[in-house]
Structures are given as structure tokens and as C-alpha cells.
Amino acid sequence: MPNQTELAGSPGGTTPQASRQSASMRWASWVTAANVVVASGFAVAGLVKPDLVVPAGSMPNSASAIFALYASARTLPLAVFSLGAIYRRAPRALLLLGSLAGVIQGLDALVGMVGHDVGKTIGPLVIAAFEFRAMRRLAVSLPPSR
């Protein structure tokens, strides 16, 4: 049977597993928060000033306003629930919502590719890569579910 010192594992009395989970949760929280806040910023920008998000040389119209509403409808609730999971320190909820946010960024990168827009391809692709790495790290740190 391990003694008290072995159980402590580190200053503060946490085990190495708990410390890894805490660090993974912090990293996943930062990455996911940045992801959903940036995505929400673009969605709100599309609502407030559509000419910031339409392709160069295009004029915003009623179709771009509808598109901005659709983008906001998916992005803002995801941001609210993701930030709620971070606030509540709910790692399994964050794992699900962060993974969803990563998938959405990956799909946004595909849209950028189809539109031949390097900026709208690389940006979401990099965010998706960070998100998936953070979610993988979080998933590995969690104890198996029952």
C-alpha cells in the first residue's frame, strides 16, 4: 500500500494523474475558448458589418445577411455552452463541445479551400489542429467512463 508521500505525488497533495488532467483541462479550456470567441467574433462581424466577411470585390446583400444569421445561429450557442463547460470545469462536456468546435473549424477550412481563399483555409485549419490536439490531450488524461 502506498504511503502518504507517494499518494501526494506533488506539492499540494494531488496525484500525478490529477495534475496531468488539470493541465490538460487548462490547455483545452484556453484553446476552446479562443476558438469559439474568434468564431463568434466573425459571426457577429457578419451581422454588424457584413462587408468585413464577404469575399473581396463583393457587395453585402440580403443573402449575406441571411448567411450571417445562419453562422451566428450555430456559433453563438456553441460558444455559450463551451464557455459554460469551461466555467463549470466539466471535462467531458468540454471534450464533446471542443471536438465539435474543431470539426466546425475543419469544415470552415474546406469552405475556404473551395472558395480558393488561402486566409479562410489556413486560419481555420490551424485552429482545428490546435483544437484536436487539445481534445486528444484532454481525452487521454481523463479516467475511463463507467
Closest alpha carbon to 132 in 90, 104, 92? 104
pTM over 0.75, yes/no: yes
Vertex 115: Cα angle to 59 and 35 (nearest 5): 90
Confidence of residue 67 (pLDDT cuts 50, 70, 90): confident
**pLDDT given at position 9:** 46
Q: What's the confidence (pLDDT) of residue 146? A: 76
CB contact at 8 A, 104 and 137: no
pLDDT at 14: 67
